[in-house]
Amino acid sequence: AQSVTQLDSQVPVFEEAPVELRCNYSSSVSVYLFWYVQYPNQGLQLLLKYLSGSTLVKGINGFEAEFNKSQTSFHLRKPSVHISDTAEYFCAVSVGGQGAQKLVFGQGTRLTINP
């Protein structure tokens, strides 16, 4: 069965500093990987996704992630964060082949940007 581990439950960072949110997954088959962001009392917004092709994926709001198959990781990075990046971030892996695919989510990482 697929699983996702987000190693840090909370990450405090100063504004304009770089940040990396870690995500590792386990799967015996090929996977699709996603990062979502959740602002308070809202649903999830897709930041970026890896389906195939280039292992470096660029998303919205200046975020990027790198798929590393050998390390089964999909860490999220941003070179310079802003106060508005304060939110909960979820890494997810999709389960299944063609057609509808369930998402398995990590536990989430709360990113807090301090001025």
Partner 1 sequence: GAVVSQHPSRVICKSGTSVKIECRSLDFQATTMFWYRQFPKQSLMLMATSNEGSKATYEQGVEKDKFLINHASLTLSTLTVTSAHPEDSSFYICSAQPGGNQPQHFGDGTRLSIL
Q: Summarize as ranges the residues that interact with partner 1 (CB under 8 A).
A: 32, 34, 36, 41-46, 49, 51, 90, 98-103, 105-108
* Shortest Å distance, C-beta 105 to partner 1: 5
Q: Which is nearer to partner 1, 7 or 15 (CB)?
A: 7
Q: Interior CA angle at 95 toward 47 and 4, to 5°?
A: 60
Q: Decide: helix, strand or coil at residue 106.
A: coil
The rounded distance, in Å, linking the Cα atoms of 34 and 114 is 26
In the structure encoding, which two tokens stand for residue 34, read together? 């996603």
* Shortest Å distance, C-beta 58 to partner 1: 15
Q: Which is nearer to partner 1, 52 or 70 (CB)?
A: 52
Count of alpha carbons within 13 angstroms of residue 8, beta-carbon side: 16
Q: Which is nearer to partner 1, 15 or 22 (CB)?
A: 22
* Shortest Å distance, C-beta 29 to partner 1: 14
* Shortest Å distance, C-beta 23 to partner 1: 12
Q: Which is nearer to partner 1, 49 or 77 (CB)?
A: 49
Q: Among all chains, which residue has been given the structure tokens 């699709």?
A: 32
User: What are the beta bridge partners of residue 14?
Assistant: 114
